[in-house]
Structure formats: C-alpha cells, structure tokens
C-alpha cells in the first residue's frame, strides 16, 4: 500500500546540512497498525509528512497505492492526499472560525460535502462525544474535544490510511485512551494506521512497532515464540508482517 525507498531529507543550517531522514526504506501493507517511536528530533514527523505527500524528500521514492507521489504534478498529488489520506496532528490544526461540524466537513475532498448524508456527520460526532458541541468553535473546546474533532475530520472521508503525528501529546490519559480506542476501531474495520510517538500509549494497538533514531529506522525483534534457528539472518527488517 505504501512503500518508502531510500528516503532522504536534508535541511541546511548554520552548522551545515542535517539529515532528518537518512535512507529510510519501509513497506506498510493495507490493514496494518504501525507505531514509529523515537525521541524528539529523530525524524519521525518528517517521515510521516513525507509519507503523506506533504514534504518532498531530497532523494528516494514514495509509492502510495502504486503511484509515485512525488513524480506526479502537485495538483494531482493534492487530490490523492485529499481523497485517500487522513491526518491527525498533535496541535489539532482546526480552522478557528469554523464550527465543529464545519471543521469535520472540511476533511472531505472538494465537492464531496454536498453528497454526504448529514446523518453520517451526526453519527460520527455522537460516537466521539461531540454531538453537543456541533455548533461550537475550537476556541471553546477542551484539548480532548479538539483532538476528537480532528480525528473526526480525518475519519469522515473514510480514508485508506490515517497518519497520526503525536496525536495524544497534548492530552490527559483519559482522552488519550479515547483517541486510541477510535483509531483501533478504524483499524479493526480494515483501515491502515501509522502513528509516530515518543510515548508508550500506542503500544497495545500496534501490529508492528518501529524505532527511529538519527533519521534511521529499526524494527522490534520477533518475540521468542516466533524466533527460528533456521540459519536466516537475524537482523530486524523493515517489512510488513505476512
């Protein structure tokens, strides 16, 4: 579904170039829940933005649904992203002058809102505990309500994949659990989830956990019961299960 091939992303600075991504190769198959862990500044957010078609790599290829995102014109890439990819960010990125309902509808591709049954929006708000906040604007919401609005905005178009960047970084444990419960439900319904985080709150939901440091990825080793002694290279690989 999503294939990263030797991705590099370099930024210039007073002290010279910094490699946010240093040759990252990663395959994510449909239906996975992948967690990428690592400290601040390790490159995990850069990787997520690159996978979502929002930040062009300095080198390498990014294939999404068998299409090379960075070889297509920007307008087409924007359409692919708008239709197939949902984003959830730590800082919510809600539109301050829109209501909760309007912010959720803003997650739809252009032209789709006119064909969307309003019951679907209402059902989603109800499921996320936002029904009573439908006409409120972000400034009057709690942090948990803002993140649930952002999650609803990502879910409303039924995307192929949700990319979440520290989605619980500003939340208390109760609201963090709420967000991950809904990401888990989306995953169980067949959706693909990629979460980057420096915490442990996503551990129970992951089908695969990767670790990032200095722009490079490594994988969790297999648990003892699945290890073999068949002579295969024991170095962890960054490839989908199955």
Query: pLDDT tens for residues 192-209?
Result: 999 998 777 777 888 899
Q: Are strands 85-89 and 67-68 parallel, antiparallel or unpaired?
A: unpaired
pTM of the model: 0.84
Full 3-state SS string of 177-234: HHHHHHHHHHHHCCCEEEEEECCCCCHHHCCEEEEEECCEEEECCCCHHHCCCCCCCC
User: What confidence tens digit (pLDDT) does each residue in 91-143 have?
Assistant: 899 999 999 999 999 888 876 666 666 778 888 999 999 999 999 999 999 99
Domain 2-95+159-218: what homologous superfamily?
A: P-loop containing nucleotide triphosphate hydrolases (3.40.50.300)
Distance CA 144, CA 105 (A): 19
């Amino acid at each position: 579904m999503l294939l990263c091939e030797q991705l590099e992303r370099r930024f210039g600075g007073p002290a010279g170039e910094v490699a946010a991504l240093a040759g990252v190769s990663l395959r994510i198959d449909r239906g996975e829940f992948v967690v990428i862990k690592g400290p601040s500044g390790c490159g995990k957010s850069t990787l997520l933005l690159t996978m979502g078609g929002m930040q062009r790599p300095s080198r390498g290829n990014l294939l999404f649904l068998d299409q090379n995102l960075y070889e297509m014109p920007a307008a087409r890439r924007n359409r692919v992203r708008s239709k197939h990819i949902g984003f959830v960010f730590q800082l919510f990125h809600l539109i301050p002058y829109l209501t909760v309902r309007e912010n959720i509808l803003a997650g739809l591709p252009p032209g789709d809102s006119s064909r969307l049954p309003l019951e679907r929006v209402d059902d989603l708000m109800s499921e996320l505990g936002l029904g009573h906040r439908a006409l409120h604007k972000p400034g009057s919401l709690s942090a948990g309500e803002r993140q649930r609005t952002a999650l609803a905005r990502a879910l409303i178009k039924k995307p192929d994949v949700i990319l979440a960047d520290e989605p619980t970084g500003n939340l208390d444990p109760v609201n963090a659990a709420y967000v991950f419960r809904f990401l888990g439900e989306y995953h169980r319904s067949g959706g693909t989830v990629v979460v980057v985080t420096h915490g442990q709150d996503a551990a129970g939901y992951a089908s695969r956990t990767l670790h990032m440091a200095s722009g490079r990825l490594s994988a969790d080793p297999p648990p003892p019961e699945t290890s073999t002694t068949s002579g295969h290279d024991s170095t962890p690989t960054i490839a989908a299960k199955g």
